[in-house]
Chains A and B, each alone.
Chain A
Amino acid sequence: MSLLHTVNKSPFERNGLQSCLRLAEDGHAVLLIEDAVVAALDGTEHAETIKNSAERLSVYVLGPDLDARGLPKDRIIDGIEVVDYDRFVALACEHDSIQSWL
């Protein structure tokens, strides 16, 4: 069973992302939305964790939420795909279930 995990809190504020990455199984997808989009940036203290996770999980970040925060797409960690809402819907369809980490 393939899960899409959505995470909406910054890892600097809450530990939802850490819990998600710990519990997500190989091949699952993780979509960073709302304040969690900061986790997609390279150079933060969480970047190494995300990079390691991206080797076994598909990691996505919601572009409109990056734009809303003025975060530059050229600083995104290699291997993380920037998606729009249409792709968010498509990802929800492609996976069997959606787990929202709030």
Chain B
Amino acid sequence: MKFGILVNEGPYQHQASDSAYLFTRAALAAGHEVFRIFFYHDGVNNGTRLTVPPQDDRNVVDRWSELAQEHSLDLVLCVAAAQRRGLLDADEAKRHKKDADNIAPGFRISGLGQLIEAAIQSDRLVTFGD
């Protein structure tokens, strides 16, 4: 079965990032396909490579990057939500004349159409958020 995952909440805010991650892992382990994970609203904060959580805490961002690399996942940050919150890839940083970019490995920035496509292409869309 093909899953789309929507994450609407930032990491360390409550539990949505953790629930989404554990669900995705369980789905992949069961042999299902994860078509795309779309990060919307504060969920885009899952994609900054500048987080430095305490060493005895889980690293939510790295965990997504590692899972994406292992399973070739498509992690997409909503562009409008990302720009509002200071999440930029190299192209966006250049376009807006910012001095840095901060997107984590495995993530890409794109539009809301990617969420709609995920909903259409996936057999099930599962939403995690606050």
Contacts and interface: CB of A to CB of B under 8 A. Distances in A.
Contacts of A102: 8, 127, 129-130
Nearest to B9: A102
Nearest to B32: A89
A86 B126 CA distance: 14
Given A34-B14, A34-B15, A98-B125, A89 B130 contact: no
Contacts of A64: 22
Q: How large is the interface on A (under 10, 10 to 19, 20 to 34, 35 or more residues)?
A: 10 to 19
Nearest to B22: A85
Given A64-B22, A89-B26, A89-B32, A100 B1 contact: no
B108 interface: no
A8 B126 contact: no
B29 A92 contact: no
A90 B129 contact: no
B126 A98 contact: yes
**What is the interface of chain A mostly: helix, strand, loop, or mixed?**
helix
B80 interface: no
Nearest to A33: B19
A88 B126 CA distance: 11
B27 A89 contact: yes
B127 A34 contact: no
Contacts of B19: 8, 33-34
17 contacts: A33-B19, A34-B15, A35-B15, A85-B22, A85-B25, A86-B29, A88-B23, A88-B26, A90-B30, A92-B124, A93-B1, A93-B32, A93-B123, A93-B124, A98-B124, A98-B126, A98-B127
Given A84-B26, A100-B128, 5 more contacts: A34-B16, A34-B19, A65-B15, A98-B125, A100-B126
